[in-house]
């Protein structure tokens, strides 16, 4: 007897349910540990061999469509690497195609805002001990990551990170041993963080965990490292992102799953990938971030949404945990009620819950996890992402912060492609 399309659809729904449960299990069971810091050229695929190459945030993009802030961040990296002596020379290299471009997410990496990782960038090395996979994220740089390049401070920031901060933290980690980031992240949610833009508690917890190792390292560079960390209001952000990348990569290849494993943006495009269609990008236009600006800036100055940091929302923190961080409202705008309402809204488009990440003010309710493209398309509810705002042009620092959503078209396109791949054609 020929099976009907209805029966086939029912069978597929059951298989999707099992596949989605497996993705959630991999996310929940992940055990990310900070194991090292290292120059990107030594550990990140594609950055070795002495090449002039950088990796950027967001989905792949050609130079002609790249936003100003991302170009500015590449120029800053070129100056710090010594590929050019002036910004004009660096821009010439870039426009001539003499600097190769790659996408972080396709090289086991993530980076905040412009996300630029060049060969001598020092990166956090995070191992997911459940799946035995490794991910990387660059040490945070407050100015360069937003596209600043035309002052000595931004370039020196990158050089200090590579020459002092990275090596000193590596030495400290050799004394402390691997640090359990999952445990630290869970604790910080109980201390007012949401682990995307509010990482104050997590930064303090990480520094506390590193201090015994730093003391054993000793010397003037330790003091410089502590002072540098103290100046970084989002010190833990890159670590949080690397942990999230190690978790989401473990779930990136589960056939028949409709759950999102990548969300990122490059200031031009917003891209997602899903577990059931490994490696395929579904992109739409990056959106305008809505939120408060620094004095002297406004909508006319702002670029579009940018950065790999939405990987945190993929694993059930960030926008999935904003109710845990009432103080973030002063940074991204909105009210305490908006934050309380955000988690129930995200729950409507997620498949599972993460019992390791809980929210005290919601009676320690687990955070929602596993964004389902079917639920996004059906409800029209878009994932909530809190983020910073970069300038539309190269050469500037942070302008502000706010809330942004992906374009619905990414999820609709992914769902159509999923159906075309897994549903038999109608006869």
For 256-314, write each residue's pLDDT tens digit.
Answer: 999 999 999 999 999 999 999 999 999 999 999 988 888 888 888 888 999 999 999 99
> Which of the residue ranges 8-22, 184-198, 243-257 would you say has the lowest mean pLDDT?
8-22
Q: Are 278 and 269 in contact (CB under 8 A)?
A: no
Residue 346: count of CB within 10 angstroms of its CB: 25
For 22-73, write each residue's pLDDT tens digit.
Answer: 999 999 999 999 999 999 999 999 998 888 999 999 999 999 999 999 999 9
Distance of alpha carbon 407 from alpha carbon 58, whole angstroms = 14
What is the average pLDDT across 199-206?
Answer: 94
pLDDT at 127: 98
pLDDT at 375: 97
What is the average pLDDT across 189-203?
Answer: 94
Q: Are 276 and 351 in contact (CB under 8 A)?
A: no
Banded pLDDT at 153 (limits 50, 70, 90): low
pLDDT at 4: 47
pLDDT at 393: 83
Provide the β-strand partners of residue 124: 37, 137
pLDDT at 2: 43
Q: Are 122 and 57 in contact (CB under 8 A)?
A: no
Q: Could you tell me which of 348, 266, 331 has the C-alpha nearest to residue 292? A: 331
Average predicted confidence (pLDDT) for the chain: 91
Rounded (10°) angle between helices 200-217 and 181-189: 140
What is the average pLDDT across 410-414?
Answer: 97
Q: Could you tell me which of 296, 242, 270 has the C-alpha nearest to residue 67? A: 270
Tokens of 205: 């917890």
pLDDT at 158: 66
pLDDT at 199: 93
Q: Exposed, middle or buried by CB within 10 Å (0-12, 13-18, 19+), for 82? A: exposed
pLDDT at 155: 66
> Which of the residue ranges 45-49, 231-235, 372-376 would you say has the lowest mean pLDDT?
231-235
pLDDT at 389: 86
Q: DSSP states of 131-186 as a string?
A: TTEEEEEEPP-TTGGGT--SSHHHHHHHHHIIIIIHHHHHHHHHHH--EEHHHHHH
Residue 1 has pLDDT above 50, yes or no: no
Which residue has 């090449």 as its token pair? 51
What is the average pLDDT across 359-373?
Answer: 95
Distance of alpha carbon 48 from alpha carbon 41, whole angstroms = 4
Distance of alpha carbon 237 from alpha carbon 40, whole angstroms = 18
Distance of alpha carbon 412 from alpha carbon 231, whole angstroms = 42
Q: Are 372 and 350 in contact (CB under 8 A)?
A: yes
Domains of the chain: 11-27+252-422 (3.90.1700.10), 32-242 (3.90.1710.10)
pLDDT at 147: 77
What is the average pLDDT across 168-176?
Answer: 95
pLDDT at 161: 65
What is the average pLDDT across 119-139?
Answer: 95
Phi/psi-derived region of residue 178, left when phi > 0, alpha when psi is between -120 and 50, beta in every other case = beta
pLDDT at 306: 94
pLDDT at 342: 87
pLDDT at 5: 44
Residue 205 has pLDDT above 80, yes or no: yes
Distance of alpha carbon 18 from alpha carbon 11, whole angstroms = 11
Banded pLDDT at 220 (limits 50, 70, 90): confident
The values of phi and psi at residue 102, to 5°, are -145, 170
SS3 state at 406? coil
Distance of alpha carbon 387 from alpha carbon 26, whole angstroms = 26
> Which of the residue ranges 102-106, 139-143, 230-234 would you say has the lowest mean pLDDT?
139-143
Tokens of 162: 């590579």
């Amino acid at each position: 007897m020929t099976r009907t399309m209805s029966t086939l659809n029912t069978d597929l729904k059951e298989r999707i349910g099992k596949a989605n449960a497996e993705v959630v299990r991999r996310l929940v069971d992940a055990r990310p540990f900070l194991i090292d810091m290292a120059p990107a050229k030594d550990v990140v695929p594609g950055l070795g061999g002495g090449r002039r190459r950088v990796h950027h945030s967001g989905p792949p993009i050609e130079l002609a469509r790249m936003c100003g802030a991302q170009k500015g961040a590449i120029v800053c990296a070129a100056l710090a690497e010594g590929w050019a002596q002036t910004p004009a020379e660096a821009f010439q290299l870039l426009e001539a195609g003499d600097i190769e471009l790659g996408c972080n997410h396709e090289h086991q990496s993530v980076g905040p805002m412009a996300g630029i990782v060049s060969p001598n960038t020092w990166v956090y090395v995070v191992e997911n001990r459940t799946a035995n996979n490794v991910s990387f994220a660059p040490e945070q740089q407050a100015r360069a990551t937003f596209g600043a390049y035309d002052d000595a401070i931004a370039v020196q920031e990158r050089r200090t990170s590579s020459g002092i901060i990275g090596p000193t933290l590596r030495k400290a980690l050799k004394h402390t041993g691997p640090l359990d980031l999952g445990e630290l992240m869970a604790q910080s949610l109980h201390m007012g963080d949401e682990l995307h833009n509010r990482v104050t508690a997590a930064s303090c917890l990480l520094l506390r965990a590193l201090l015994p190792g730093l003391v054993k390292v000793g010397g003037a560079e330790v003091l410089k490292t502590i002072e540098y960390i103290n100046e970084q209001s989002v010190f833990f952000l890159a670590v949080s992102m690397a942990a999230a990348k190690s978790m989401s990569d473990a779930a990136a290849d589960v056939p028949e799953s409709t759950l999102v494993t990548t969300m990122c943006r490059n200031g031009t495009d917003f891209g997602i990938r899903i577990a059931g269609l490994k490696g395929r990008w579904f992109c739409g236009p990056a959106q305008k971030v809505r939120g408060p600006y620094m004095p002297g800036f406004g909508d006319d100055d702002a670029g579009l949404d940018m950065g790999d940091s939405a990987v945190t929302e993929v694993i059930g923190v960030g926008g999935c945990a904003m109710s845990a961080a009432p103080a973030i409202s002063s940074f991204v705008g909105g009210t305490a009620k908006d934050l309380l309402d955000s988690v129930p809204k995200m729950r409507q488009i997620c498949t599972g819950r993460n019992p390791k990440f809980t929210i005290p003010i919601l009676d320690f309710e687990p955070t929602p996890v596993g964004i389902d493209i079917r639920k996004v398309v059906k409800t029209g509810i878009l994932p909530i992402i809190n983020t910073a705002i970069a300038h539309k042009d190269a050469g500037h620092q942070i302008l502000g912060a706010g809330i942004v959503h992906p374009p619905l078209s990414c999820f609709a396109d992914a769902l159509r492609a999923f159906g075309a791949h897994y549903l038999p054609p109608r006869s």
